[in-house]
A and B are shown apart, each in its own frame.
Chain A
Amino acid sequence: MPDSHDLSEVPRPAAAGVARAGVGGSAAGGGETSRPAVEFRDIDIAYGKFVAVRDFSLSIRKGSFVTLLGPSGCGKTTILRSIAGLVDISGGQIMIDGRRVDDVPIYKRNIGLVFQSYALFPHKNVFDNVAFGLKYRNVPKPEIARKVGQALEMVRLPGSEKKLPSQLSGGQQQRIALARAIVFEPQVLLLDEPLSALDANMREEMRVEIKKIQKETGITAIFVTHDQEEALSMSDRIVVMNAGAVEQIGTPQEVYETPATAFVADFLGKANMLAGTVSKSDGATAVVLAAGQTVNVVCPRPLAPGSKVTIVVRPQKLSVGAAVSANRLSGRVVSASYLGGSAIYEIDVGGKTSIRANAPISGRVLREGEAIDLGFDPEGCVLLDEDGQRIS
C-alpha cells in the first residue's frame, strides 16, 4: 500500500476522507511541492435538465494512479470524458498541469485516451496506429520509428508493426491501444473501462501490465471502472462515486476498511450491514441493540439513546466459534462453502438478519442448520448514522 501522503493534495477531512461536495478548496494548497497533474474545481456537467455530475472537485498528484469507481450511470465516465474534452462542462474549471483547459479543444489537450472498445483504426496497421499521435506532433520520421518500437516493446508486442488490428486478439488490441496512448508522452493517461471487454484471464493479466507500465513511465493515470477488484488492486487512490457525486476519496485500504457511507460499504465488497438502535453511549463506545442482541462498538462521540445506526462489518472481520472474543452473537448456519483455507458461512442471526462470515477453518466446517457463534472486535467495524454517514 502506497503512503497516503504520496497521493493527492486534496485536504482529506478526517482519516478516511469523507469527500462530499466542495472538497476542491484545495486550489490554494498544492503549490509548494508540485502542481497537481489534474485538478477539478466544482465541476458540474448537465445534459439538458439531467445533471450527470454535480460539484465534483478532485486534485490528482503527478504520477499517481487514481480510479473513479462507481455503478454505471454514476458519472465516472462523464468526468473522464470531460478531461479529454469530449464532454463540455456546464460549470467549474478543469486544470491540467496548472493550465485551465475548459476551452482548449480536445486535440490540443495532450492526453492519452484508452477506450473500452480499443478503438484502433481498422484501416491502419499497428505501426500507423501507434505513430498517429507522434505524426500530429511533428516528430521526425526516424524518431517516430524509434518511439513506436519502444512503445511496442513496452506493451510486449514488438515486431507487430505490420499487422492490422483485425489480426490481433482483444488483449493484444488493447495493448496496442495503450501503446498508442502513451507513445507521445501525454500529461495524463485516461483509461475508460479498458478491461471490461476482455475475458477474465486476460483481464487479470492486463491489470498487472497496465499498472506496471504506469509505474515505469511515471505517467499520471485516471482509470474508470465499475469493478471494485480492479479499483482496489490497481489504484493509489480511489474516488467512489454515486449518482453524479463523490461518496468517498481515499486509498484502497481506507475506502474498503472505513467506508464513509452506506453506499461505499455496500458497493465495495460484500459488507454486512446490521441495523441497530443505540442503547447507551459514553463518547468512547456505544452499546447497540442489533438483531436482538447487544454489541459494543467504538464511537468517538456520544449518541442519543434510541438513535438508529448501522453497523458495517466485513466478512473477514468476523470470527466464528471458539475464536470469538468480543461481541458474541449466536445464530444458525444457513449455508457453508468450503474454500480450502477458509470457509464462507451464511449465518442467520435472530431470524431476520443474515450475516456473511469468511473465517479461517479451525477444526471442522460447520454444516447447515448447526448453531454457530460469531463475533467481531469493537474496532473491527464501522458505525453509520441514520443517513448512512460514518460516525466512526
Chain B
Amino acid sequence: MMGVGRMKARRKEEGRWAWRLTGFVTLCVYIFMFAPIAATVILSFNASMFGGFPMTGFSLQWYAKLMGNEQVLTAFRTSLWIALVTAAATTAIGVVTAFALVRFEFRGKQALSTLVILPALVPETILGVGLLVLIKAVDQPRTMLLLVLGHIMLAVPYVVLIAQARMVGIRRVYEEAALSLGASRFSSFREITLPLLIPAVVGGALLAFTISFDNTSASLFWRPAGVETMPTQILSMLKISISPEINALGTVMILVTVGIPLLGGLILQSLTRLKRRGQPKEEAR
C-alpha cells in the first residue's frame, strides 16, 4: 500500500515537472514569435534618433514624419489599391472555380484542380522570375496591370482552397430544393449557395488582401520602374539606414495586415448575429 502511495506521489511530481517544462517551452516559442513584433511596435514610439534600444522617451514624431513622407504615402496608397483589386478579383475567380470544381464533372477536372493550386507550391522567387522572363519574351513593359495579375496568381490558390472546403460542406440538396421550387440555376446560386458560402468569401477576400498587401519578393520583380509598394518601400529605406521611421511604418503594416482580417471576422460575426435577430422583424411586415 505504501509503495503504491509513494509511486503515485512520484508520478504526480513528475507530472508537475512535465507541465512546467511544457509551459516554459511554450513561453519561449511565443516570445520568439512575438518579440520582434513587440520590439517594432515599442520602438516606433521611441524618441531616440536611432532605431534601437534603449528607449529614451515616448514620442509620436516618427508617425508624424511618416505622415509627411510623400514617398511612403504613395507606396501605401499603391499597396492598398493593388491589395483591394487583388482581393476582389481573386475572390470572384476563387469562388467560381471552387463551385465548378466541387459541383460539376468535366474532363480535365483533376488537372485543373492541381494547376490552380500550383502557384502556392512553386517558390515565389521562381514565379517572380518566371513571369518577368515571360513578359520580356513577348516584349511587353512591366505595368501595374502585370503587378496586379501577378498578385492575383499568388492569391488564387488560397482562395480556391478555402472556398472549396466550404463548398464541399454545402450539400447539393439545398440547390436541388431551390431548383425544384422554381429558382433558376443562377437564382439558386445567388440565393442559396452564395449566402452559405459567405464565410469562405469573406475569409478568402481577407486572405487575398493580406497576401497582396505584404508581398515583397514577387513585387520586387514585377513592379514597374519607379513604383514602390509598402514592402519594397521599406526595403529601399532600409538600404539607407535603420531609421525609427521604419518601425513606425512596420507598426502601420502590422495594424493593416492583422487588423483588417480581425475586423472582417468581427463584422462577419455581428452580421450573422444581426441577421438572426433582424430576420424575424423583417418578416413581420
Q: Is B171 in contact with chain A by the CB < 8 A criterion?
A: yes
Contact present for B181 and A133 (CB under 8 Å): yes
Interface membership of chain B positions 210-251, coded 1 if the CB is closer than 8 angstroms to chain A and 0 otherwise:
000000000000000000000000000000000000000000
The interface residues of chain B lying within 8 Å CB-to-CB of A214 are none
The yes or no answer to A263 lying at the interface (CB within 8 A) is no
Q: What are the residues of chain B within 8 A of A40 when measuring CB–CB?
A: none
Contact B171 A119 (CB under 8 A): yes
Complex interface: chain B residues within 8 A of A125 (CB): 279-280, 283
Task: Name the contact of B183 in the complex, choosing from A107, A161, A164 (C-beta under 8 A).
Answer: A107
CA distance in complex: A15, B263 (Å): 73
> In the assembled complex, which residues on chain A have CB atoms less than 8 Å from the CB atom of B178?
121, 132
The closest CB in chain A to the CB of B182 belongs to: A136
A164:B276 contact, CB within 8 angstroms:
yes
Question: Are A119 and B195 within 8 A (Cβ)?
Answer: no
Q: Give the contacts of A191-214 with B (CB-CB under 8 A).
A: none
* Smallest CB separation, B59 vs chain A (Å): 50
**Nearest-Cβ distance from residue A39 to partner chain B, whole angstroms:** 20
Asked whether, in the complex, the Cβ of B174 is within 8 Å of the Cβ of A121, the reply is yes
Query: A119-B171, A125-B279, A125-B280 are contacts. A112–B196 as well, Cβ < 8 Å?
Result: no
Chain A proximity of B172: nearest CB distance (Å):
9
**Any A CB within 8 A of the CB of B184:** yes
Please, which residue of chain A has its CB at the minimum distance from the CB of B279? A125
| A159 shortest CB reach to chain B, Å | 12
Q: Smallest distance from the beta carbon of A197 to chain B beta carbons, Å? A: 12
The contact size tier of chain A is: 20 to 34
Question: What is the count of residue pairs linking A and B with beta-carbon distances less than 8 angstroms?
Answer: 76
Q: Kindly provide the distance from the CB of B274 to the nearest chain A CB, expressed in whole angstroms.
A: 13
Q: Pick from A109, A120, A133, A161 the residue with the most CB of B within 10 Å.
A: A133
Produce 1/0 per residue, B243-285, CB < 8 A to A.
Answer: 0000000000000000000000000000000011001100100
Q: A-side binding surface: helix, strand, loop or mixed?
A: loop
Q: How far is the CB of A170 from chain B (nearest CB, A)?
A: 15
Q: Are B174 and A119 in contact (CB under 8 A)?
A: yes
What residues of B have a CB within 8 angstroms of the CB of A82 in the complex? none
Classify the secondary structure of B's interface with A.
helix
The CA of A86 and the CA of B180, in the complex, are separated in Å by 9
Residues 168-224 (chain B) with a chain A CB within 8 angstroms? 171, 173-174, 176-185, 187-188, 192, 195-196
B177 interface neighbour in A85, A105, A115, Cβ under 8 Å: A115
Q: Given that A125-B283, A162-B279, A162-B283 are known contacts, is A119 also in contact with B176, CB under 8 Å in the complex? A: yes
Contacts of B174 in A (CB 8 A): 119, 121-122
Which residues of A have CB within 8 Å of B180?
Answer: 84, 86, 106-107, 109, 111-113, 181
Point out the residues of chain A lying under 8 angstroms from B177, CB to CB. 113, 115, 119-121, 180
Task: Across the interface, name the chain A residue whose C-beta is closest to B175.
Answer: A119
B residues adjacent to A (C-beta < 8 A): 171, 173-174, 176-185, 187-188, 192, 195-196, 275-276, 279-280, 283
Beyond the given A86-B179, A119-B177, A122-B196, please list 17 additional residue pairs across the A-B interface where CB-CB is below 8 A. A106-B176, A108-B182, A113-B177, A115-B177, A119-B171, A119-B174, A120-B177, A121-B178, A125-B280, A125-B283, A132-B181, A133-B182, A136-B182, A136-B187, A162-B280, A180-B177, A184-B181
**Shortest 4 CB-CB contacts between residues of A and residues of B:** A162-B280, A136-B182, A133-B181, A113-B180
